[in-house]
Amino acid sequence: MIDKQPLIHRLCIIGVGLIGGSLAQALKQASAVTEIVGAGRAEASLQKALTLGVIDRYETELATAVVDADVVVVAVPLGAMFDVFAAIAKHLPERCVLTDVGSTKGSVLGDVRRAFGQAPATFVPGHPIAGTEQSGVEASFPELFRKRRVILTPLVETDASAHYLIRQMWEITGAEVVEMGVRHHDEVLAATSHLPHVLAYALVDTLARLDDRAEIFRYAAGGFRDFTRIASSDPQMWHDICLANREPLLQVIEQFTHDLAYLVEAIRTGDNETIMAIFRRAKHARDNLYLE
């Protein structure tokens, strides 16, 4: 009987946090990788990942970490992407497949082109639509991507075999892999992910600055907890996302602000028909959404 070979021999994950750590665990659980090298600047976090068995070894020098790697996954905050790409650009093995997990693709592609001069043919931009409000490798778990979507935004110059390898990698984790263009990705995510986080942060900040904030939070019901849960997410990560996807995010914020002002005026004037029409449309839309 012939033993099945792992999909990836040496995998380097730069940024072993919630996403990077969960990917490592999922691939290990599926016996899809021979060795996982963790990399990053914070040695304490890497040591924790090693102790937890998430990675097999680690390096704090990125140039050393990518030596002989078959796949490199960059899973750092958007604000750190360029520095990572610049640090590995001259050291990446020729046929090594490079991918990322960034929440915006336009900014990541810009960083790659600045660091490498042009996007390598083996670069496959990616974005797993998965996560929790927790962060750090201690919050990672192998089932994070199961029945979740991973968006790949391959470029015209992307090598077909590199593209297929990254698709396989994510499918092994239990994810559904879909594809779209870079610009379309950023517009869709601005509306469906980035705007909700901005609203959650803004609402909690507003209520937290009221004089009777203690009483407000004491009597907050389940709806408030559900809506504001994502305001517990990593502020640095979402700060970076807001700036990296500034234009699409501002467009959808402006549209929402316009629509909110319309609702506010209806409430102010007691316009029953308008209020009910908005609420009914929203309920119908939400009830018919394909959400898992």
pLDDT 10s digits, 131-171: 777 788 999 999 999 999 999 999 999 999 999 999 999 99
Inside any domain, residue 2: no
What is the CA angle 79-85-90, rounded to 5?
160
pTM of the shown model: 0.87
From residue 73, give the alpha-carbon distance in Å to each of 6, 10, 69, 153, 203.
Answer: 17, 11, 10, 15, 34
Look up the CATH number of the domain holding residue 47. Answer: 3.40.50.720
pLDDT 10s digits, 52-97: 999 999 999 999 999 999 999 999 999 999 999 999 999 999 999 9
Amino acid code (one letter) for 83: D
* Domain end among 180, 206, 226: 180
Residue 38 has pLDDT above 90, yes or no: yes
Residue 223: per-residue pLDDT:
80
More confident residue, 135 or 262: 262
* Domain end among 161, 180, 199: 180
Count of C-beta atoms within a 10 Å radius of residue 209? 8
pLDDT 10s digits, 25-34: 999 999 999 9
Same domain, 189 and 266: yes
User: Which of 178-192, 197-211, 251-265 comes out lowest in average pLDDT?
Assistant: 197-211
Residue 288: per-residue pLDDT:
87
pLDDT 10s digits, 200-223: 999 999 988 887 766 777 776 778
Same domain, 193 and 133: no
Same domain, 174 and 37: yes
Same domain, 97 and 158: yes
Look up the CATH number of the domain holding residue 211. Answer: 1.10.3660.10
Q: Using CA atoms, how far apart are residues 58 and 70, in angstroms rounded to an integer? A: 16
Same domain, 175 and 72: yes
Residue 1: per-residue pLDDT:
42
Same domain, 38 and 139: yes
